[in-house]
Structure 1
Amino acid sequence: MGISEGCFIFGDSIQEQGFLAFYRSLPEDYYTVHGDDALLMAKDFFKTMAVIKYWGHKKVESVSLSKLNFESTVRDLLLIKQYRVEVYVSRIKSGKTSDWSLSYKASPGNLTQFEEILFGNNDMSAAAGMIAVKVVSDDGNKIIGVGYADATLRKLGVCEFVDNEQFSNLEALIVQLSPKECLLPSGDNLTEFSRLKEVLERSGLLVTERKRGEFSTKDIAQDLDRLLYFKKTDQINSAALPEMDKQHAMCSVAALIKYLELLGDESNFNQFKLSTIDLSLYVKLDAAAVRALNLMPNANEGGNKCQSVLGLLNKCRTAPGQRLLAQWIKQPLLDVNRIKERLNIVTAFIDDTTLRQILQEDHLRRIPDLQRLAKKFQKKKATLQDCYKVYQAIQNMPLLLDSLEKHDGSHSQLLMEVFTNPMKELLMDFSKYQEMIEATLDMDQIENHEYMIKADFDDTLREYRTEMDKLESSIKHQLNKDEKVMRNNKMYHMIDTKKDGVRFRNTALEELNTEFRDAKLSYEEQQKSLVEEVLGIAGGYVEPMQVISDIIAQLDVLVSFAHVSANAPIPYVRPNILETDCGLIKLKEARHPCLEMQDDIAFIPNDVSFEKDKEMFHIITGPNMGGKSTYIRSIGVVVLLAQLGCYVPCSSADISIVDSILARVGAGDSTLKGVSTFMSEMLETASILRTATNKSLIIVDELGRGTSTYDGFGLAWAISQYIATNIRGYCLFATHFHELTALADAIPTVTNLHVTALTTENSLTLLYRVKPGVCDQSFGIHVAELAHFPKHVIEFAKRKACELEDYQNISLTDVGLSGSEEEAVKKRKTIKQEGEQLISEILTKFKSIPLFPLSAKKRPSKRLKNLNRKYKNMRIPTYRMYLLEEPFVNCCKGYIMKF
C-alpha cells in the first residue's frame, strides 16, 4: 500500500519470492506503504524514520501498518490533510505471483466506501460533499454551472449564475455549501483555469481534473431516472424537471455522477433528491471573512474549542445537530421572519431553564445518528443492532415531546408548530415498527449486548437456544471454583490476577466454550432469513427516519444557541432585527464571544454605530496590539450571530439585515502558489469592490502594508474613497496610515475612531477602548520596547523617526532625546520649512508666467538661474512634491525635478 500523491496502494509491483513469503506470514488486515509514500508516512505520521524497512533488491522504502494504525491514518489523510486514498488487494495465484486490483477508494468529497473505517460505531459529526464547476464565456460574461453532490445524504444540487473575473459568486457558494473537493474539466483556458483553481484552493478544496467528455448531458436524463426518488404515484421523467433548464449545471452533475460511480451501486437507485441552490437566500460570505471571523476551527486550535465560532456554539448532543450547526454558520439568513422565528424559539429555551437542561442533558443525548442509520438501511448494510437503536430512539421521543408540551411560555405555540405536531405525526408511522421489534428481537439477550431473533419464531431456533442456555449454565458452574483449588494446580492455566478475582482457563472450560460458540453460530445461521425479513421491513422507514433526524437536528442547534447565550460570562441579549432598508446598526458594549471565553481575560466592550447617510464608514487608528483588529472582528461576529438567529454578546443591539459580510484581514505569502502577500490583498480587495453593495458589511484591516508606503497609502485612500462614495455600505477600516483620517473632512459619512493608550517615558498601557477622533501618535517604538529591543536600537529608531517627521506632533523630549539632539532635529525641521516656503513663493510667481512655448535657443533668465542654484544648494527633498497643487506640478514638473 503506497500513497503517491495521497493514494494508498496495498503492496507494490514487487514479485519476488521473498516478498510473497513475507506477505503470507503477515496477519489478517495488514497494510504496507512504499516508496516516497513510505517516507511521507514516516515523517508526517510516525515522526521518525526508524519505521522504514527496505524490501527487495531495489531497496524499496516500506512502512508496515497495523489495522488500527491504518484506520487512524486514513482518517487523517481524508478528513484533515485532504488526500485521495485507494486500497489495492492482492490475490495469490499458484503461490508464485499476485494479482493486484483496486478494492476500494475515497476522496475528501466521497467517503462512502470508507464510512465504516472512518466512523465505525461513532456518529458522523461532519458532512462530506463535493462540487463540479463548468465555466462558459458568453459575450464577455462568465456563466458558471455548478453541480453539488453529497453521497452520504443522497443529495444533488444545481446552481447557475453569471460571475466576475474574481469568481466572487462562486466563492460565496463554496462557503455556503462547504464542499471538500471540486471537479474541473481539463483543457480549459490556462489563464482562466489557474485563476479559478486559485479561488478553489483558497477556499480549501481539493481540485480534481476530469476529461471534458465527462461534462456532458448526453445521458443525464436516463441516469437521473434511475437515481432520483419518485413517489409511486409519480411518473418517472427527469427530463421534465425545471433543473434540466440549467444546462451547464447539469453538465457538472453528470461529471459528479460518473466520478462518484453512483450508478455502480444499486442501493443508490431511487434514493437521491435534486434541488436548485438559491444564492439569494443567505448572506454572502467570502473565504477571507470565514478566516477573519474565525468561524471554523483549525488544526492549530488545540484543545480550546472556543477559539472558533463553531466550537463556541457547538453544545449539540446529536451528530445531525453538529452537522446542521456547521451548515448554518456559513448560511446566515436574509429573511427577517425566519430569523425572528429562530430567536423566538431560543428565547423560549432561555426563559425555561428546566426545559433547556432536560433536553440537553437527558433527551437529546439519547438519540443516535438517524441520518447515518437511514443510509445503512438504504445500502442494505444495517444489522439487528441498528434496528434496535432506531427502536430506542422512537421509544424516547414521547418523553421529549412531553417536555416540550409542558412549556407554558409565550412561545409555546411556536414550539408546538415547529417540533411537537410534526413529530407526533411521524411517530404514528412508527407504531408498527415498534410492534415488529418487540415481537422479533430477544430483549433478554440485548442486555448481554447480543442481538438475536426470538427463539419462539422457529423450532430449530428454540432447540439451539435451549442448548446455549444449558452450556452457559455449565460454564458458570465451572467458573464457581474456589481460588485456593486453582492455585498450584496443573489442570488450571492462570491468565492474570485482579483485585476482584483470577482469570483462568482449563480444558473443561475450553470445551464448553467451543460448544457454546458452535451453537451460537448455528443459531445465527438459522435466523438469517428472519433477520433479512426484519431488515427489509425496517428499510421501509428510511424516509420518516430522515425527517425525524432533521427536526431533532434543528431542535438541538437552537437549544445549543440558548445554552451558549445563557451561560456566557455575561449573558447574551436578543438583537432587534430590522429590515435591510433601515440602514441602521447600533451595538452597545459589543464583545467578541470567543475572546471573552479565554482564561484570565477581562474583555473591554465597545460600541459601534452605523446610520444610513450619516455614518457608514469608520476609520480606526491606534497602536499595534491596541485592539483594532479584535474590535472590527467582534462587530462582524455579532452581526453574523444575529442573522443566524442567536442572541449576541452586547448590552443592546439594533441590526439591519446585511446581504454580505466581506473581509480583507491579514494575508500571508503562498510561495508554492506564487501568490505574495500584496497580491493576495489586491485579489481579495478587488473581489470586495466588485461584490459589495450598500447593504454589505465590509471589514478591512491594514490594507496596503505589502508595498511601499506611498503606494500603500495611495491605494488605501482610493479604495476607502470608492467604498465610502460609490458602494456606501457599512465599513470598518483599521489602518496605520494616519493620513487616511483626512478622508473624514472630505466625505460626510466617514467617521474617525481610535483605540486608546497611555504612554510614559518607559511604558505603554493599552486601554482597548474605542473612542471618537484620531489617534494623535504612533506607538511602534513603544511596542518595540515592550518586545525588549536592544536599547541602542530603540534610541536610533527614535532619532530616525524624528528626522522623518513621523513624530512631528510629539514633544521631542517625550521620546527620550537629549537637549543637543533635540536642537539638531529642530534646526533640520526649520530648514525644511523655510525651503518649503521658498518653493511655495516661487511657484506662486511661476503661475503668473504666460504659458507660451519658449524658443529652443532661449535660455532661462538670470533670476531663474539664481533660484535654481539657491534651492539646489538647500537640497530640497523631491518627496515634498506631493504638497504642490496637481495642475501646477504637471506644468512645472520638468523644471522642479532639477532641484
Structure 2
Amino acid sequence: MQAKATESRQEPTLNMDTNARRNFIKFHAKLGEKPATTVRFFDHSDRYTVHGSDDCELVAKIVYKSTAFIGALLPDDKKETLQFVSMSKGNFERAVRELLLVRNYRVEVYVKNSSDWEIEYRGSPGNLLQFEDILFSNKEVLVGNSIISLLVKLDAGGQRRVGVASVEQNDCKFQLLEFLDDDFFTELEATVVLLGPKECLLPSIEGDYSAVKTLLDRNGVMITVPKKSGANDLLQDLNRLLRFAKGQQEDATGLKELQLQLATNALKTAIKYLDLVNDPGNLGHYEIKQLDLKRFVHLDSAAVAALNIMPKPGTHPSMPSYRWQSVLGVLDHCRTPQGHRLMGHLATISMVDSILGRVGASDNIIKGLSTFMVEMIETSGIIRTATDKSLVIIDELGRGTSTYEGCGIAWSIAEHLAKETKCFTLFATHFHEITKLAETLPTVKNCHMAAVADADDFTLLYQVRPGVMEKSFGIQVARLANFPEHVVQNAQEVYNEFEDEHVDKQKKEDKALLEKIQVAIQQLSTAGNNVDINVEDLTQLVTQFTKDIEQLDSDYFKSVLATSEA
C-alpha cells in the first residue's frame, strides 16, 4: 500500500527503456567524483533528473520535502543501478533558485546531443549569468552577484603580497586592489568583509592558500579552483568589455589600474571563468577602478559577528557562542548587585521572524529595471512575505513617479501593513497626507525628526518627537548642501508661488462651499414653517448640509465636527 501511495505522488517517471538506462548508468559512472557542493541536473526535454544518493536526497527534500520520491533506474538489478529523482521544469527552476541563491551550491546542467550527454551550462553563487532567465524571469529576485579572484605572492623581503580582482556583474564593474599582508591575512579578511563576495577563485587550496581557504570558509564564501585552460588576452578582452569615455581611445594599455600586476592577473582569471566576452550584453558596459581600502573601517568576521544583536538561529543559551558572540547573550549573562538577571530588569525584547527593509534608491540597468521598478519589486516582496511577527522598515516610498501616484501607493501600502499584516513597521515619508492614517487607525502613531529653523539658520536636532512635522525643510537642506544661493532663492520663490496658488484655489473652493451652506441654512431655517415638507426631503437636506461642512477646509468646522463626534 505504501509503495502504491508513493508511486501515485511521484511525478511522471522516466521514459527510458532498459538499454537506455544501462547506457546512462555507464555514462554517469564515467563522470567521476564531484564536489559535495555541486549538483548535476540532466535535461530530458520533458523533465529533469538528478542522480546519485547525495544529489537525490538534497533535491528531493528541496522540491518534495520528502525522500519518498527517490527511485532507481534499474530497481530489479541490485548490482548495477542508480538512484534518480524526476521533476518538472517548474520544480527544476525552484531547485536551482534554492541551490544558487540560498544554499550557495554550484549547478551543472547536462543536455543530450546526438550521441551522448554534454554539459550545456553551469552556475555558481558568483556566476549566475547562464541562469538569469530562470532566476530573474519574473523580476521577483534582485540579488547581489559579486565574485572575487585573488593571488598571493611572496615578495623578495618575504612579505606576502595579495592581489584581488572583484567583478560586479549587476553593476558592470571591475575593482582591483593590491596590498601587503601578515601571516593571518588581516587585510584580506577586511577586504572580503567589505566586498561581500558570493564566490572566490583561487589557483589552489594548498600552501599559503590553505590559510586563505580557512578565512573564506569563516566568512561564508564559496571557493572555486578553476581548471587551467588556454591563456586569454586580457588587453583584448578589456578593450571589448570596458566603456570608454567619448573621444577616449579605446585601448586599455595605458590604464593606471593595470599597473597592479598581481591583481590584473587575478582579473584575467575571473574574466575567463565568467566567460564575459562571449555575452554581447557585456561588451562596452564595464568600468574598471582601483579600490582604496584605507577609506573604510576594517572589520573581520569576528567584528561583524560582534555587531549582531541576536545570536545565530539554533544557538542554545547554555552555549559559549550565545553568551559571548551576541549583544543579547552578553547582557543576558550580566547580573545586578543583588544577583538578579539584568535583562529581566531593563529590557523587554520582542522576537521577530524576519526583518524586511526597503531603504535607499538604485536602479538595475542590466535587468532593465528603473529605480522605481526596483522599489516596487522589493516592496511587493515585503507585502507578500511579512507576517504579524515581522519588522518592516520602509523609507521614502513612491519617489520615482508623480506626486499623487507616489502618495497613493505609499498610503495604500502603509494602510495594508497597518490593517491587514499588522506587523511593527517604521514608515518614513515626506507625504504629509499619509499622517492622516493616524486619525482612523488607532495602531498608527505619527512621529517626526525635530529641527530648528529660522530665516538664516537650520539645525537638525536628531531627536524623534511625537506628532506631525509642520512643514518640510527641503530648501533648508539644499542650503546646507552648499547649493548656490541664487538656486536656493529661486527654489523658495517657486515654492511660494505654488503655495499661494494652492491657497487661492482653496479660498475659491471654500467660498463656493460657503455659499452653498448659506443657502442650506436659509432652507433649514424656513423648513419649520413649511407645512408641506416631508421627513425624507428634510433628511436629504440635512445630509447634504453635513457633506458640505465636511468638505470645507476650516479648522473651526473641523473642531466642531470632532466635538460632536466625541
TM-score relative to the length of structure 2:
0.50
Q: Measured at CA, do residues 43 and 399 of structure 1 come closer, stay the same or move farther in structure 2, by a change above 3 Å?
A: closer
Residue 124 of structure 1 aligns to a residue whose secondary structure is coil
- How big is the shift at 1:293? 2.1
From 147, 167, 178, the equivalent of 1:130 is 147
Distance 2:249 2:122 in 1: 35
Q: Greater Rg, structure 1 or structure 2? A: 1
C-alpha separation in 2, matches of 1:316 and 1:221: 39
Distance change >3 Å, CA 29–CA 13, structure 1 → 2: closer
Q: Structure 1 residue 54 and structure 2 residue 72: aligned?
A: yes
Structure 1 gap ranges (5+): 1-10, 324-362, 371-394, 405-556, 576-586, 589-899
Instruction: Indicate the RMSD between aligned Cα atoms, in angstroms.
Output: 4.7
Q: How does 1:759-778 map to 2 (within 5 A)?
A: none
Q: How does 1:704-853 map to 2 (within 5 A)?
A: none
Q: Distance in 2 between matches of 1:237 and 1:277?
A: 21
Select the residue among 259, 263, 276 that pairs with 2:277.
263
Residue 195 of structure 1, aligned match among 211, 228, 237: 211
Deviation at 1:195, TM superposition (A): 1.0
Relative distance call for 1:297 and 1:397 in structure 2 (3 A) is farther
Counterpart of 2:128 in structure 1 is 111
Alpha-carbon distance between aligned partners in 1 of 2:162 and 2:15, rounded to the nearest angstrom: 42
The 5 Å alignment of 1:58-207 reads 58-91=80-113, 93=114, 98-138=115-155, 139-186=157-204, 190=207, 192-207=208-223
| Partner residue of 2:259 out of 227, 235, 245 | 245
User: SS of 1:50's equivalent?
Assistant: coil
Deviations 1:486-537 (A, max 9, x none): xxxxxxxxxxxxxxxxxxxxxxxxxxxxxxxxxxxxxxxxxxxxxxxxxxxx
Q: Is the 8 A contact 2:363 2:374 kept in 1?
A: no
The answer to whether the 8 Å contact 2:172/2:286 transfers is yes
Q: In structure 2, what is the Cα distance between the partners aligned to 1:248 and 1:75?
A: 34
Matched, 1:33 2:55: no
Q: Is the 8 A contact 1:129 1:178 kept in 2?
A: yes
Give distance in 2, aligned partners of 1:280 and 1:170. Answer: 13
Matched residue, 2:305: 291
Give the SS at the match of 1:210: coil
1:433 match: none
Q: Distance in 2 between matches of 1:78 and 1:271?
A: 25
1:682-704 Cα shifts (integer Å, max 9, x gaps)? xxxxxxxxxxxxxxxxxxxxxxx
Q: Is the 8 A contact 2:151 2:202 kept in 1?
A: yes
The offset of 1:48, in angstroms, is 2.6
Displacement over 6 Å in runs of 4+: 11-15, 295-301, 401-404, 557-560, 567-575
Q: CA deviation at 1:400?
A: 4.8
User: TM-score, normalising length from structure 1?
Assistant: 0.33
Aligned to 2:524: none
1:169 Cα deviation from its structure 2 partner: 1.4
Name the counterpart of 1:315: 358
Contact 1:123 1:319 (C-alpha < 8 Å) held by counterparts = no
Secondary structure of the residue aligned to 1:104 is strand
Of 230, 236, 243, the residue aligned with 1:229 is 243
| Deviation, structure 1 residue 572 | 9.6
- 1:284 match: secondary structure: coil
Deviation of 1:107 after TM superposition, in Å, equals 0.3
Asked whether the equivalents of residues 43 and 49 of structure 1 are also in contact (C-alpha less than 8 Å), the reply is yes
- After superposition, the Cα gap between the structure-2 partners of 1:568 and 1:300, relative to the gap in structure 1 and judged at 3 Å, is farther
Contact map agreement 2:136 2:142 (CA 8 A) in 1: no
Distance change in 2, residues 1:116/1:62 (3 Å): same
- Mapped contact 2:146–2:166 kept (Cα < 8 A): yes
Residue 235 of structure 1 aligns to a residue in which SS?
Answer: coil
- Alignment check: 8 A CA contact 2:109 2:119 kept: yes
Quick one: which amino acid aligns to residue 30 of structure 1?
R
Query: C-alpha distance in 2, partners of 1:152/1:296?
Result: 31
Structure 2 contact 372–400 (Cα < 8 Å) conserved? no
Please say if residues 87 and 104 of structure 1, whose CA atoms lie closer than 8 Å, have aligned partners that are also in contact: yes
Secondary structure at 1:110's aligned position in 2?
coil
For 1:108, give the aligned amino acid.
P
Query: Given the superposition, is the C-alpha separation of residues 364 and 222 from structure 1 closer, same or farther in structure 2, using an over 3 Å criterion?
Result: closer
**d(CA) in 1 for partners of 2:183, 2:64:** 43
For residue 266 of structure 1, what is the amino acid of its counterpart? Answer: P
Report which of the two has the higher share of helix. 1
Q: How many angstroms does 1:252 deviate by?
A: 0.6
1:223 aligns to what SS in structure 2?
A: helix
| Contact kept? 1:125, 1:319, Cα under 8 Å | no
* Counterparts of 2:291 and 2:374, CA distance in 1: 33
CA distance in 2, matches of 1:366, 1:153: 14
2:399/2:406 contact within 8 Å kept: no
- The one-letter code matched in structure 1 to 2:152 is V
Matched residue type, 2:149: A
In the TM superposition, what whole-angstrom CA distance separates every residue of 1:219-273 from its partner, at most 9, and x where no partner exists? 2212111111113421011111110111101111000001001122232221111
Alpha carbons 1:88, 1:101 under 8 Å: kept: yes
For these two proteins, the number of residue pairs brought into alignment is: 331
- Give the share of equivalent positions with the same residue, in percent: 35
Q: What 5-or-longer segments of structure 2 have no aligned partner?
A: 1-13, 25-42, 316-349, 379-397, 408-426, 435-442, 452-461, 464-566
Amino acid of the residue matched to residue 295 of structure 2? Answer: L
Matches within 5 A, 1:555-704: none
Partner of 1:399: 402
Native 8 Å contact 1:175 1:285 kept in 2? yes
Aligned CA distance change for structure 1 residues 201 and 48 (closer, same or farther; 3 Å): same
Tell me which residue corresponds to 1:854: none
Structure 2 counterpart SS, 1:198 = helix
Secondary structure of the 1:16 match is helix
Contact 2:358 2:375 in 1 (8 A): no
